[in-house]
Amino acid sequence: MRLRHSMLTTAALCGLLAACAISTPGSQAPAKGQQDCVSAAARRFQQPPDSFVVESSGVTTAAEIYEVRLRNTSTGRLSKCTVDQNGTVTGVIELR
């Protein structure tokens, strides 16, 4: 009985984790927000905008605030940008 309970619990946990890993529509920053992050990073690090590529984008814990991770193709360095749903950049930092 205890083994069966453990197996069911494990199966339920695996199902829950799989559901959390599935991307939902709207979970990425809008294209305008991503472009605004690239522009902001280019200004912040004094590099041309075409030297930045978006590596990932997702919703933060704050409502309608997105985190965009960028890579500078010239230096290989990573940065993080936060942007709202309207494309207003709230910050750009370099990741170490």
**71 inside domain:** yes
Look at residue 62 in the predicted model and tell me its pLDDT.
Answer: 78
Label residue 81 exposed, middle or buried (CB < 10 Å: 0-12, 13-18, 19+).
buried
Task: Count the neighbouring beta carbons within 10 Å of the beta carbon of residue 20.
Answer: 7
Q: How far apart are CA 31 and CA 19, in angstroms?
A: 25
**45 inside domain:** yes
pTM above 0.95, yes or no: no
Q: What is the pLDDT of residues 16-31, one digit of tens each?
A: 333 443 334 468 999 9
Q: Sheet holding 52-59: strands in order across?
A: 52-59, 65-72, 78-84, 89-95
**13 inside domain:** no
| Cα–Cα nearest to 86, from 38, 43, 31 | 31
Average pLDDT over residues 65-87: 95
Number of domains in the chain: 1
| CATH number of the domain where residue 32 is located | 3.10.450.40
